[in-house]
Amino acid sequence: SQKIEQNSEALNIQEGKTATLTCNYTNYSPAYLQWYRQDPGRGPVFLLLIRENEKEKRKERLKVTFDTTLKQSLFHITASQPADSATYLCALRNQAGTALIFGKGTTLSVSS
């Protein structure tokens, strides 16, 4: 069965630094991978989608990479701000194409 792992449960960084979050998956090659942000007490909010034929995607201070050889996606937030503090979830479509499988998330804390 497909597995998706986000290696760090928590990541603490200083304001202005770049945060890098990791998402690894096993057992098959998804057509795309998505990243969501979840704030406490709220539902996840979609941030970025990257397809298997794309190496990199950017949106403002966010950058996502997708390495299908390593079976890994990296999510970067440059010039991080305290407002970026949240839990970030990666998700990919299961092999049957019927559902998104979510990682357990990495909680990012940006201190000023």
Partner 1 sequence: DTAVSQTPKYLVTQMGNDKSIKCEQNLGHDTMYWYKQDSKKFLKIMFSYNNKELIINETVPNRFSPKSPDKAHLNLHINSLELGDSAVYFCASSLAHLSTSGETQYFGPGTRLLVL
* Contacting positions for partner 1 (CB under 8 A): 31-32, 34, 41-46, 49, 51, 87, 89, 93, 97-102, 104-105
Q: Which two tokens stand for residue 23?
A: 């998402």
Pairing label, strands 86-93, 100-102: antiparallel
User: In the bound complex, what is the minimum distance in angstroms from residue 79's beta carbon to partner 1?
Assistant: 25
For partner 1, the closer CB: 97 or 112: 97
User: In the bound complex, what is the minimum distance in angstroms from residue 31's beta carbon to partner 1?
Assistant: 4
For partner 1, the closer CB: 3 or 17: 3
